[in-house]
């Protein structure tokens, strides 16, 4: 009874902390501008099923893709055994699914999850070796400071410990399940006599040789591993929303709200579009006085200076970033040594919205901390290095669009600060004067044929 009470308190506390953090992230994402992405629901469901559920973009790099699929499938399906552990913890039962499934089916049930646990363990070890010994270039970079590197290792180590605890728990249990009922009852473990198997489970059988023959010792080993496994999972649930691994949850909505238009298609600034349409409307009197604006109306900014100028989808992208570096490894600007790293753009956006969210929570929704995404986090040099080739968006395994943020920040530089590079200013002047990017008058455009 005491064990059940302690477990229930831990479970409720974990749920409260997790829900509060989710609410905080939701509030931060809502700092972005509203945008309607409710169109074409059927295509969005297909995209989510293909990219998030089917892991279609991950397997483009086979080794990493297959190992990630092991972890992903294991994470999804092993939760069925975790459900059994939670029920046992709350109600004080032991292996509650045994009575529901029957001996033979339950034996297969646990055996299958043990195979998944072994695959997850292998994948975690492979990833640890790749990250810390393999010296893969995309795992490094100016943005990959000590915390991002530690974050990845912490999760992999914790997952490995959880899988080892699960297998050890099953190994000690299976030895008890094969013992003589009288020995088990003499040890005061009457509830273990109701479950009997003729053999050990599929994978943990290789650990039974290290188990003692004393029922009491086996009981304490099983209980220790049981608590280690479930407390580790509860701790994992609290930790994940603060780490890059929150993509476990956000990958699904983020891919659902993917950009469905062609990747090279840019959106128009609504404020500029409205002005142009007004000028081109023959029914509008050009000499009429403009409609008075509300005294409280805030003029819409051209482009984006801070995270509040970006859309909520841009901010969801930032929280969904896996920091895998595939975008940066595919970026031609980064490959040639330029300062741009699409991964850094997303990490900076997430760090900035976290900072601003904390400030507003402490000082009020209308307060401003005097900082901005552009300048304090991302430099113009990074932005102008982008070729807008969309290689980053194509490579991202969860359909993040760093280019959208880059373009909006560049729009602010050009339209609000007139801070375009000299090469672009020359082109803008030519377009204004000559109707083309080249420095030739319209009357002289066909002069080239005279020399042909």
266, 296, 355 from 29: Cα distances, Å: 22, 24, 12
Average pLDDT of the chain to the nearest whole number: 91
What 3-state DSSP class applies to 282? coil
* In contact, 170 and 201? CB cutoff 8 Å: yes
Convert the pLDDT of each residue in 101-129 to its tens digit: 999 999 999 999 999 999 999 999 999 99
- If pLDDT is split at 50, 70 and 90, which confidence band does 425 have? confident
Residue 335: per-residue pLDDT: 94
Convert the pLDDT of each residue in 69-81 to its tens digit: 999 999 889 989 8
pTM of the complete model: 0.90
- Mean pLDDT within 57-73: 92
* In contact, 308 and 365? CB cutoff 8 Å: no
End-to-end CA distance of the chain: 96
Token pair for 147: 């915390």
Convert the pLDDT of each residue in 366-418 to its tens digit: 999 999 999 999 999 999 999 999 999 999 999 999 999 999 999 999 989 98
| Contacts of residue 163, Cβ cutoff 8 Å, sequence gap at least 6 | 117, 118, 120, 121, 124
Q: How far is CA 438 from the centre of its chain?
A: 44
Token pair for 267: 């959106």
Residue 19: per-residue pLDDT: 97
CA distance 399 to 327: 10
Q: For the chain, give the number of residues.
A: 452
Convert the pLDDT of each residue in 145-164 to its tens digit: 889 999 999 999 999 999 99
**Helices and strands, number each (H, E), in the chain:** 19, 0
Q: How far is CA 111 from the centre of its chain?
A: 31
CA distance 5 to 10: 9
Token pair for 179: 């013992």
Does residue 136 have a pLDDT over 70? yes
* In contact, 183 and 219? CB cutoff 8 Å: no
* Residue 367: closest CA among 378, 358, 376: 358
Q: Which residues, in sequence order, are bridge partners of residue 311?
A: 33
Q: What's the 3-state SS for 55-114?
A: CCCHHHCHHHHHHHHHHHHHHHHHHHHHHHHHHHHHHCCCCCHHHHHCHHHHHHHHHHHH
* Residue 397: closest CA among 59, 86, 40, 108: 59
């Amino acid at each position: 009874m005491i064990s059940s009470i302690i477990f229930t308190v831990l479970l409720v506390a974990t749920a409260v902390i997790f829900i509060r953090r989710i609410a905080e992230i939701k509030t931060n994402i809502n700092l972005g501008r509203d945008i309607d992405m409710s169109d074409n629901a059927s295509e969005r469901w297909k995209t989510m099923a293909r990219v998030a559920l089917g892991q279609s973009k991950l397997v483009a790099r086979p080794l990493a893709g297959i190992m990630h699929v092991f972890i992903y499938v294991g994470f999804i399906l092993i939760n069925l055994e975790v459900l059994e552990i939670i029920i046992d913890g709350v109600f004080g039962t032991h292996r509650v699914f045994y009575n529901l499934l029957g001996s033979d089916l339950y034996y297969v049930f646990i055996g299958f999850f043990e195979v998944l646990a072994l695959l997850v363990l292998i994948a975690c070890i492979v990833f640890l070796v790749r990250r810390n010994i393999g010296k893969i270039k995309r795992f490094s970079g100016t943005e990959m400071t000590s915390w991002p590197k530690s974050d990845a290792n912490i999760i992999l180590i914790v997952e490995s410990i959880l899988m080892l605890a699960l297998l050890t728990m099953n190994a000690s249990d299976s030895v008890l399940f094969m013992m003589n009922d009288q020995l088990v009852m003499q040890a005061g473990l009457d509830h273990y006599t109701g479950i009997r198997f003729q053999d050990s489970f599929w994978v943990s059988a290789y650990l039974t040789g290290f188990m003692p023959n004393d029922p009491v010792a086996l009981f304490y080993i099983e209980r220790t591993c049981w608590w280690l496994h479930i407390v580790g999972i509860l701790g994992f649930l609290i930790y994940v929303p603060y780490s890059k691994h929150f993509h476990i949850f956000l990958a699904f909505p983020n891919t659902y709200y993917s950009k469905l238009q062609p990747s090279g298609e840019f959106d128009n600034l609504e404020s500029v579009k409205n002005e142009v349409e007004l000028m081109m409307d023959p029914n509008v009197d050009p000499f009429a006085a403009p409609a008075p604006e509300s005294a409280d109306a805030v003029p819409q900014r051209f482009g984006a200076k801070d995270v509040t100028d970006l859309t909520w989808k841009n901010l969801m992208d930032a929280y969904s970033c896996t920091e895998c570096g595939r975008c940066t490894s595919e970026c031609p600007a980064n490959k040639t040594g330029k300062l741009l790293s699409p991964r850094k753009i997303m990490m900076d956006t997430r760090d900035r919205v976290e900072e601003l969210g904390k400030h507003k929570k402490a000082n009020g929704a209308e307060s401003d901390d005097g900082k901005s995404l552009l300048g304090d986090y991302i430099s113009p040099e990074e932005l102008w290095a982008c070729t807008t080739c969309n290689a980053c968006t194509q490579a991202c395994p969860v359909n993040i669009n760093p280019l959208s943020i880059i373009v909006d920040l560049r729009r602010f530089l050009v339209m609000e600060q007139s801070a375009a590079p000299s090469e672009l200013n020359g082109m803008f002047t030519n377009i204004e004067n000559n109707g083309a990017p080249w420095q030739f008058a319209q009357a002289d455009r066909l002069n080239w044929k005279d020399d042909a």
